[in-house]
């Protein structure tokens, strides 16, 4: 007997497919094509110049891109490590019963609700030499005198400025890590903890052998989300230093933006963007796998 194909489900899928193709697939194909051309925004005729791999090869000869890559790796490693350690510590503290816990948790979350640009500007004023509160406090407690220095220019002394940027990212996003880990801690089954108590396990043993293994999926998610997040760090840098002093604090995102919209090298910026994607991709794929695994 011949089976007839029911086209109705495809018909229902059509609007979604059109949207996905229009907003995702077509722009992606267009961008891939663009990355092999020599298109410069001020010269429309260059849209048709096929330059092969030239834009991709230029990346390896561009010391500013390499510096931006190094900076991005630095921002990512420091921010994610501190996010996780501090976030976990605070989450564990907030997981205990004490008065005012709800208010404290809410207060902790405030930085996440700010726009990164706003956070950047708040910190810029706090860092500003010589009137910023950061310098004022450190001077007041005698730290500069102890170190034998007059002051620190938080936004222009290189490499101090790299830490100044990463501190803003840590300040803003640690509460986000706290929230995810706290939710995971609060949804843990009570039985293993009761059993450990009966068996006389120490606090450290409970943390090491029960809490931490049970937290592992949440930690993995947090790690991946934060890595992908920090790899794209943009707004804070633009607000704090605009990539300066000179070009020394650019991340990949801010530098690529500069190439595309400052120097108008659209094709080159697109090629650099695809190269950056290669760095993001392993993390994105792992994250997707983890999410699908937990959904199943």
Partner 1 sequence: MPELGPVTVSIAAGRPDSGVIAVNIPEFEAQTGIEVRLEEGPWESVQEKISMDLMAGVGRYDVIWLPTSWAVNWEEYLVDLKPRYDKLPEAYKEDYFPRTIELNTFDGKLLGLPFKFWALGLFYRKDVIEGLGLSLPKTMDDYAEVLKAVTMDVDGDGKIDQWGTAVTTSGFLCLDHYLQYCNAFFDPKSGQPHAWSDVEGKPTLDADWNIEALQWLVDRFVVDKSLPPQSLELVGYDNLMLFLSRQLGFYPGYGCDYIQMADPAVSQVVDYWDVAPTPVGPHGVQLGHSGGQGLGIPTTSKHQDGAWLLIKYVCGVEGVKNEMRYCTLECPRKSAYEIPEAHPKVSKVMLTAMLGDPETGTPAQMPSEVKTKAFAKVGDFLTLAVYEAFSQKKTAEKALKDAQEASLKELEKT
Interface residues with partner 1 (CB under 8 A)? Answer: 39-45, 58, 61, 64, 127-130, 151, 153-156, 158, 240-248, 258, 261-266
Cα–Cα distance list, 233 to 79, 113, 127, 170, 229 (Å): 11, 17, 19, 12, 7
What phi, psi does 37 have (nearest 5°)?
Answer: -110, 170
Nearest distance from C-beta of residue 150 to partner 1, angstroms = 9
For residues 175 and 108, what is the distance between their CA atoms, to the nearest angstrom?
Answer: 6
Nearest distance from C-beta of residue 47 to partner 1, angstroms = 8
Of 175 and 260, the one with the shorter C-beta distance to partner 1 is: 260
| Alpha-carbon dihedral sign for residues 94, 117, 81, 129 | negative
Nearest distance from C-beta of residue 16 to partner 1, angstroms = 24
Of 68 and 91, the one with the shorter C-beta distance to partner 1 is: 68
Nearest distance from C-beta of residue 82 to partner 1, angstroms = 24
Of 181 and 269, the one with the shorter C-beta distance to partner 1 is: 269
Nearest distance from C-beta of residue 106 to partner 1, angstroms = 32
Alpha helices for 114-248 (secondary structure H): 116-127, 133-140, 143-147, 160-186, 191-198, 203-206, 212-231, 235-240
What phi, psi does 4 have (nearest 5°)?
Answer: -90, 145
Nearest distance from C-beta of residue 196 to partner 1, angstroms = 52
Of 175 and 243, the one with the shorter C-beta distance to partner 1 is: 243
Of 152 and 178, the one with the shorter C-beta distance to partner 1 is: 152
Q: Which two tokens stand for residue 58?
A: 């230029």
Per-state percent for the chain, helix, strand, coil, to nearest 5: 75, 0, 25
Of 217 and 262, the one with the shorter C-beta distance to partner 1 is: 262
């Amino acid at each position: 007997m011949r089976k007839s194909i029911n086209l109705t489900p495809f018909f229902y899928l059509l609007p979604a497919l059109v949207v996905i193709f229009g907003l995702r697939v077509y722009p992606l194909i267009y961008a891939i094509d663009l990355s092999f051309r020599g298109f410069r925004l001020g010269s429309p005729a260059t849209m048709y110049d096929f330059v092969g791999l030239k834009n991709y090869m230029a990346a390896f000869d561009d010391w500013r891109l390499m510096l931006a890559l190094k900076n991005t790796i630095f921002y990512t490693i420091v921010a994610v490590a501190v996010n996780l350690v501090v976030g976990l510590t605070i989450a564990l503290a907030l997981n205990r019963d004490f008065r005012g816990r709800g208010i404290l948790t809410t207060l902790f979350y405030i930085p996440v609700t700010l726009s990164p640009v706003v956070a950047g500007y708040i910190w810029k004023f706090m860092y500003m030499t010589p009137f910023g509160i950061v310098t004022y406090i450190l001077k007041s407690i005698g730290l500069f005198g102890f170190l034998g220095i007059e002051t620190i220019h938080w936004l222009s002394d290189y490499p101090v400025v790299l830490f100044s940027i990463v501190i803003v990212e840590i300040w803003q996003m640690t509460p986000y890590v706290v929230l995810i880990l706290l939710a995971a801690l609060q949804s843990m089954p009570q039985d293993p903890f009761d059993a450990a108590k009966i068996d006389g396990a120490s606090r450290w043993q409970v943390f090491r052998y029960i809490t931490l293994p049970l937290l592992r999926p949440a930690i993995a998610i947090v790690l991946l989300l934060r890595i992908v997040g920090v790899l794209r760090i943009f707004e804070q840098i633009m607000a704090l230093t605009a990539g300066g002093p000179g070009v020394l604090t650019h991340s990949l995102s801010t530098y690529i933006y500069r190439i595309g919209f400052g120097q108008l090298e659209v094709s080159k910026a697109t090629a650099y963007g695809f190269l950056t994607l290669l760095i993001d991709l392993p993390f994105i794929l792992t994250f997707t796998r983890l999410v699908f695994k937990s959904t199943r």
